[in-house]
Amino acid sequence: MEITPTPALLQERYQIDRVLGEGGMGRVYLARDRRLADRPCAIKEMVDEFIDPRKRHEANESFAREADTLARLKHPAIPAIFDRFDDHNRHYLVMEYVEGHDLDQELALDAQPLPESKVTDIARQLCDVLAYLHGFNPPIIYRDMKPSNVMVTPSGRVTLIDFGIARIFKRGKVTTVGTIGFAAPEQYQGHVDPRSDIYSLGVTLHYLLTKQEFPPMTVPPPVHKLRPGISPGLAGAINRAVCLEPEKRPQTIREFQDILLGRRAMAPTARLPHITANQRPLGHRPVTHSTSAPTVVRRKAPTRPKPPPKARRLVLLAATMAVAGFAVSYLYNAGPQLDAMIKTRLASRPAP
């Protein structure tokens, strides 16, 4: 679809400077808000030139959904929305301009993958924003985590962009598939929950560390086999997150973050209960109940510390002298009685 030129001034307020990006549905512009001290802003444009009425309806619905979703979100890693309007069969969304570049662009700058410290910091920030989204009731599933949707500012702040297919979670509802290669396997069947975002985050971090792509519906090679020096916590969290079965992944984004940062031991990849973000408060750590007999711990009686060898010899000598003194005193006092007793015994014996 060829996109006709956009007016240089929109709503007699927004001055278009240049194109920031372009896709199948429209463009994103850098503009200045002339009404508010030329404040920079990003304007997303969707051109309604569809011939098929069904596709027109889907595109308009997607754009409106993005605006409504962003309008209710307030988080430092999510661009704020300022305005929304229609003009000459086009739909515009005015939002906060995020200076910097996306992770795809950063990876293209160097032949090497990103260093572990940078990936860990990015992962921590993405965990925070996903925990915020999943904390809604019902949770908001982002469902399109990938390097090109993650902006990094010059100061290192991460921003999640493009909420075009983010929807309020409704169990059993057929949903839009995200990006092939990053979308969770269950998304291809129209099923999605917070664990789907955990899978996409794991694939994204795997790619940042290895720059290796793999076909959808296949398990990627373990991180430590491609980069042996990666810490066990980070590698283990990613390896768990990219399991094809949702039950084998971390069940919440906070659980994933705890494993990544070494605050939680990695449980064996057994079938775990289905738990969504609205069933467990953020930051909650489950209490595990053992099915085996309780362990009885017997306490040992406290033992007195042994005196040093020299002190032990002095104590032994004093005790010996005390016993000897007692024996001498006893014999001295009991001597006459013993002498008389002996003589009586001898006198009572018969003569030989």
| pLDDT tens digits along 165-218 | 666 665 555 556 688 999 999 998 889 999 999 999 999 999 999 999 988 888
* Model pLDDT, residue 322: 56
* Model pLDDT, residue 342: 47
Is residue 82 classed as helix, strand or coil in its secondary structure?
strand
My answer on whether 107 and 253 are in the same domain is yes
User: Residue 24 is part of which domain span?
Assistant: 9-96
* Model pLDDT, residue 6: 77
Any domain includes 21: yes
* Model pLDDT, residue 47: 79
My answer on whether 241 and 179 are in the same domain is yes
Any domain includes 246: yes
Any domain includes 318: no
Q: What angle do CA 256, 260, 262 make, to 5 degrees?
A: 115
My answer on whether 235 and 168 are in the same domain is yes
* Model pLDDT, residue 61: 84
| pLDDT tens digits along 61-83 | 888 888 888 898 999 999 999 99
Cβ atoms of residues 93 and 84 within 8 Å = yes
Any domain includes 296: no
- Low-confidence stretches of the chain (pLDDT < 70) are 1-5, 24-25, 165-177, 264-352
My answer on whether 166 and 247 are in the same domain is yes
Specify the number of domains making up the chain.
2
Cβ atoms of residues 187 and 196 within 8 Å = yes
My answer on whether 113 and 79 are in the same domain is no
The CATH code of the domain that includes 218 is 1.10.510.10
* Model pLDDT, residue 116: 97
My answer on whether 56 and 131 are in the same domain is no
Any domain includes 299: no
Which residue out of 33, 102, 144, 258 is catalytically annotated? 144
Residue that is last in its domain, among 96, 117, 150: 96
My answer on whether 111 and 227 are in the same domain is yes
Residue that is last in its domain, among 245, 279, 313: 279
My answer on whether 62 and 144 are in the same domain is no
Any domain includes 25: yes
Distance between CA atoms of 35 and 13, rounded to whole angstroms? Answer: 6
CB atoms within 10 A of CB 208: 22
Residue that is last in its domain, among 78, 96, 114: 96
* Model pLDDT, residue 287: 31
Tokens of 289: 């109940």
Any domain includes 34: yes
**pTM as predicted:** 0.71
My answer on whether 20 and 111 are in the same domain is no
My answer on whether 214 and 149 are in the same domain is yes
Any domain includes 326: no
Distance between CA atoms of 184 and 197, rounded to whole angstroms? Answer: 8
């293209």: which residue's tokens? 108
My answer on whether 191 and 136 are in the same domain is yes
């290895």: which residue's tokens? 210
My answer on whether 69 and 217 are in the same domain is no
The CATH code of the domain that includes 35 is 3.30.200.20
144 as an active site residue: the answer is yes
* Model pLDDT, residue 264: 66
